[in-house]
Chain A
Amino acid sequence: MSYYDLDAILTDAEKVPCKFELDVPDLGYLDNNPSQALKAQTPVSLPLWLAELLALSSRTQSSNPEDSAPFLTLEMPKALSNEVVSALKADPRAVALRDQTHNMYGLATRMLDLFEEPELCAVLRRTFVTRAAETALHARKAGATDDVVRGEGFLSGLEEWERSLFRRAHDGNKACKEWMEGVKK
């Protein structure tokens, strides 16, 4: 992952739900209540880069990792909630991942680093592989036939990883087709 990777930066900016473990003064505006302090246990959404830092660092000076108390606790974002995962389990191709978040898999890898979720990992892998085969089929057919409309629903539901995969598959097909047309020369 490069420092200048736009997708990584955008993934960093994804909002994740979390709850502060303590009252925070002057942060009330996060809960639409600017005059008061932010109460502990109020659900707020913070960008991933900030939430991750606050969830992993300890607010006490204790060196013992056993009683480390983080500033806030993280929760799974809505895009990786149980409803979405069940829908993906039922049929990976029927879910428009882009409607959940543009960087579905990028966000998922970050969350999998923080949470131990072997089942979610397996579901996502199956989703990715199944959708990849479908993506490649559309990449091959794109531009070759007129029935673009049929695949439009699926293609607009592709998230960033899948879009780059589509582009790579299509580039390969295109280069091959161009050579095949030029072989007559």
Chain B
Amino acid sequence: MALPLPQGLVPTEVAFLCEMEMVTIVPRQRLESIPLLSGDTPALRPPHRAQMPLWLALLLKKQRRANIVPPAWLHPASLADIIHHETNVDPQAFSPPPPPPTRADGRTGRARPFQENIRSTREAPKPGDDPRLAPPFLPSCTADAPAGYLPYHWLELAEALLAHAADDVPAQAEVRSLLRDLQEVRAAKMRGSTQSLEGGGGVVVLRGVGAMELAESRGFVLGVVDGVRKLGASAEATRRDEEANGGGGGRYGGGRGEFEDSDEEMEF
């Protein structure tokens, strides 16, 4: 009650979590592997690309020791594709989240974070020991992320890259304006998504919504859901009573059920 923070994560917290996303970098200097809590970073050898958490990549970028390779979905053509999908192909729903990465043999599996790769070289992976990762935890911001799909942390990552590694992003002015368009389109959909509550169905479909958009609209959507629930509370209570009475009638036989129904009508 006295906690000043709103429910859920605030935008700054979401941006902090986004810094754990893996991005691809092209190092300019050699750097030995660093042991971190989340695993060892790969040793950097200049012409070879490597996967790094965003926070470390931004640090190296600021020290001019690496360049960041922007993910494929941040390309202007990909963003324009997504906007086309949002406005023309499916004007009701959000564009779908990226599909799980496919392996070379055609089975759906996952791209492994760097520490997993290191571990799997040490010990042979057991068959069947392959936990599927859900979209927020996929390395979906690396250079080999699929184009045309917005990952969970799209807005935060794009903003961070444009702010700190703008010279690595191709056609950054265009990307900026496309991002603004995309944000507006999706914010309008977010407002419209609550319209589906009108019939009393009570389900808001939020598939494909990014973390920052959730943080932004959480208060509003929860407020609408709560308001609809309160308005329908009495109708819901009546419905439950009727259901309970109907069930009771079924158990005791038809005659008893009829008696209960007539009893109820007398009350009104």
State the A residues within 8 Å of B (CB). 65-66, 105, 108-109, 112-113, 116, 118, 121-122, 124-126, 128-130, 132-133, 136-137, 139-140, 161, 164-165, 168-169, 171-173, 175-176, 178-180, 183-184
Contact = CB atoms under 8 A, between A and B. Distances in A.
A133 B220 CA distance: 9
B194 interface: yes
Contact of B220 (A128, A139, A180): A139
A112 B10 contact: no
Nearest to A137: B191
Given A112-B234, A132-B227, A171-B6, 7 more contacts: A109-B230, A112-B235, A124-B231, A129-B197, A161-B227, A164-B223, A165-B224
A121 B231 contact: yes
Contacts of A133: 191-192, 194-195
Interface in B184-218: 187, 190-192, 194-195, 197-198, 200, 212, 215-218
Contacts of A126: 198
B187, B194, B216, most chain A CB atoms within 10 A: B216
B192 A172 contact: no
Contacts of A124: 231
Nearest to B190: A136
A164 to B, nearest CB: 7
A4 to B, nearest CB: 10
A129 B216 contact: no
Contacts of B267: 65
**B: interface residue count bin:** 35 or more
Interface in B153-210: 159-160, 163, 187, 190-192, 194-195, 197-198, 200
A118 B235 contact: yes
Contacts of B230: 105, 109
Q: Is the interface of A mostly helix, strand, loop or mixed?
A: helix
A128 B227 CA distance: 8
B109 interface: no
B234 A125 contact: no
Interface in B205-252: 212, 215-220, 222-224, 227-228, 230-235, 238
Interface of B: 6, 10-12, 15, 159-160, 163, 187, 190-192, 194-195, 197-198, 200, 212, 215-220, 222-224, 227-228, 230-235, 238, 266-268
B231 A109 contact: yes
Contact of B223 (A116, A140, A165): A165
A161 B182 CA distance: 30
A147 B187 CA distance: 20
A66 B235 CA distance: 23
Contact of A132 (B11, B160, B194, B235): B194
Given A175-B216, A176-B215, A168 B234 contact: no
B122 to A, nearest CB: 38
B153 to A, nearest CB: 13
23 contacts: A105-B231, A109-B234, A113-B233, A122-B200, A125-B200, A125-B232, A128-B227, A128-B231, A129-B195, A129-B198, A129-B228, A130-B195, A132-B223, A132-B224, A132-B227, A133-B192, A140-B191, A165-B220, A165-B227, A169-B217, A172-B218, A172-B219, A173-B216
A116 B241 CA distance: 13
A111 to B, nearest CB: 9
B115 to A, nearest CB: 28
Nearest to B8: A172
A126 B195 CA distance: 8
B195, B220, B227, most chain A CB atoms within 10 A: B220
